């Protein structure tokens, strides 16, 4: 399964493409979409949409995962991130890709083990988990890879739970009440 993870933003939007084989994941591609400061918001949103559409057509992901908006003190920033999220999700929808959303805490917890992890801890764990050692990376890029990893782990856990439940029923048919 190929997963495209997105860390949305109107200054920089990070993306990460990973391939999951069973429980192992490897990075296919990652980077960031840097948006020119002089561009208007609609122009920036068009760039995000076009770049993500191009990435989707190039890597053909089976799943699309995106970070939910973080609501801080600045309402204007939250709205802009919401716009970036909207065009990102639209790119996935136009390409018929199932979309999942994860909170920043959920992403950090799945990758680092604690929901209050710092960006540096996420950066370190993503590079460690995906065996990335030589490249310089920005937080937007490792955050997007963390979103993709979070989704991969959630998908694996869902499959294991189904498998475990089925195995339990097969091993214990006398415990099933009809």
Q: Which of 7, 63, 141, 143 is catalytic?
A: 7
What string of H, E and C letters represents the secondary structure of the chain? CEEEEEECCCCEEEEEEEEEECCEEEEEEEEEEECCCCCCHHHHHHHHHHHHHHHHHHHCCCEEEEECCCCCCCHHHHHHHHHHHHHHHHHHHHCCCCEEEECHHHHHHHHCCCCCCCHHHHHHHHHHHCCCCCCCCCHHHHHHHHHHHHHHHHHHHHHHHHHHHHHHHHHCHHHCCC
Choice among 46, 53, 67, 178 that is catalytic:
67
Is 140 catalytic? The answer is yes
Q: List active site positions.
A: 7, 67, 140
């Amino acid at each position: 399964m190929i997963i495209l993870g997105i860390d949305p933003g109107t200054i920089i939007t990070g993306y990460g493409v990973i391939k999951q084989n069973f429980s192992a994941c490897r990075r296919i591609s990652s980077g960031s979409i840097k948006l020119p400061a002089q561009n208007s918001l609609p122009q920036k949103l068009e760039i995000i949409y076009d770049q993500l559409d191009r990435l989707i057509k190039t890597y053909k992901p089976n799943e699309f995962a995106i970070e939910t908006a973080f609501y801080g003190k600045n309402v204007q920033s939250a709205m802009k991130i919401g716009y970036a999220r909207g065009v990102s999700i639209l790119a996935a929808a136009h390409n018929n890709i199932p979309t999942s959303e994860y909170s920043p805490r959920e992403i950090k917890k799945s990758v680092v083990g604690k929901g209050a992890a710092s960006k540096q801890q996420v950066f370190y764990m993503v590079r460690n988990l995906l065996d990335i050692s030589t490249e310089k990376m920005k937080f937007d890029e490792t955050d997007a890879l963390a979103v993709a990893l979070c989704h991969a782990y959630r998908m694996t856990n869902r499959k294991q739970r189904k498998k475990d439940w089925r195995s339990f029923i097969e091993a214990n048919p006398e415990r099933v009440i009809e």
